[in-house]
Amino acid sequence: MAISKLHALLFPFLFALILTQIRADDVVDGVSVGSDDSHAFRIELDKLTSKIQSLESLVHKKTEELKSKDEIIAGKEKAIAEKEHTINEKTDSITSLRSEVASLKVKGSSDAKEQIEKAHTRSQELEKQVEKLQFELDLKTKLREALETRSKELEQKMLDINPKLQEVRFSVIVFLMHYQ
C-alpha cells in the first residue's frame, strides 16, 4: 500500500520534470533559452531539478528500507509461527505423557513405577523446553514490535518528505509561470 501511495506522489513530480524540460527548450518571451536573459532562469531551474532528484532518491532509498524491514518482519513472523507450532506439539506430548502416567498409576505394578518416573522426567524436560521456546517466542515478539515501530517511523519520514516535494513542485510551477 505504501508503494502505491509513493507512486501517486512521485508521478506528478516526474510529470512536472518532463514539462520543465520541454519548456526549457522553448523560447521564453521571444528570447532563446541560451541567451543572457534566461541564464538566471536556467540556473534556478537546474537547482530545482537537482533538489527534486535528490528528494526522489531519498524517497526511493526509504522505500527500499521499508521493503527490507517488511521482509525481515515476515521472516520473524514465520519463525514465531514455527515456534508456536513446536510449543503446541510439546504441549500435546506433555498431555499425552500425563495421561500415560495416570493410566500407569492405576496399574500399580513395579514396572509402572519406573515408567512413571521416566514419564515424569520426560514431562519435566518437555516443560523446560516449552519454557525455553516461550522465552524465545517472547523475544521474537519484542523484536517484531521493534521492527514494526521502526517501519512506522520510516513511513512517517516519508510522509514528512511529501510536503517538501509538494513545496518544490509548487516552486517549479511558480517559477515556470513567472518566466513564461
Please give the Cα distance from 70 to 66 (Å, whole number): 6
Q: Which of 42, 55, 65 is nearest to 14 (CA)?
A: 55
| pLDDT recorded at residue 30 | 45
pLDDT at 143 > cutoff 60? yes
Residue in 134, 175, 139 with CA at minimum distance from that of residue 52 = 175
Q: Which residue has the cell 524491514?
A: 69
pLDDT (tens digit, 9 = 90+) per residue, 40-99? 899 999 999 999 999 889 889 988 988 898 899 898 889 889 988 988 988 888 888 888
Round to the nearest angstrom and report the end-to-end CA distance of the chain: 38
Position with higher pLDDT, 144 vs 109:
144
In the numeric block, which cell numbers belong to residue 15? Answer: 510529470
pLDDT of residue 112: 64
More confident residue, 79 or 11: 79
| CA–CA distance, 85 with 94 (Å, rounded to integer) | 14
pLDDT the model gives residue 28: 46
Answer with the residue of higher pLDDT: 108 or 50. 50
pLDDT at 145: 92
Greatest alpha-carbon span in the chain: 111
Please state the rounded mean pLDDT for residues 135-157. Answer: 89
Give the Cα-Cα-Cα angle 8, 10, 11 (nearest 5 degrees): 70
Q: What is the pLDDT of residues 21-40, one digit of tens each?
A: 555 444 444 444 455 558 98
What integer pLDDT is reported at residue 5 of this predicted model?
64
CB 148 within 8 A of CB 73: yes
- Report pLDDT for 134: 92
Q: Is the pLDDT of residue 171 over 70?
A: yes
3-state secondary structure the chain: CHHHHHHHHHHHHHHHHHHHHHHHHCCECCECCCCHHHHHHHHHHHHHHHHHHHHHHHHHHHHHHHHHHHHHHHHHHHHHHHHHHHHHHHHHHHHHHHHHHHHHHHHCCHHHHHHHHHHHHHHHHHHHHHHHHHHHHHHHHHHHHHHHHHHHHHHHHHHHHHHHHHHHHHHHHHHHHHCC
pLDDT over 80 (residue 113): no
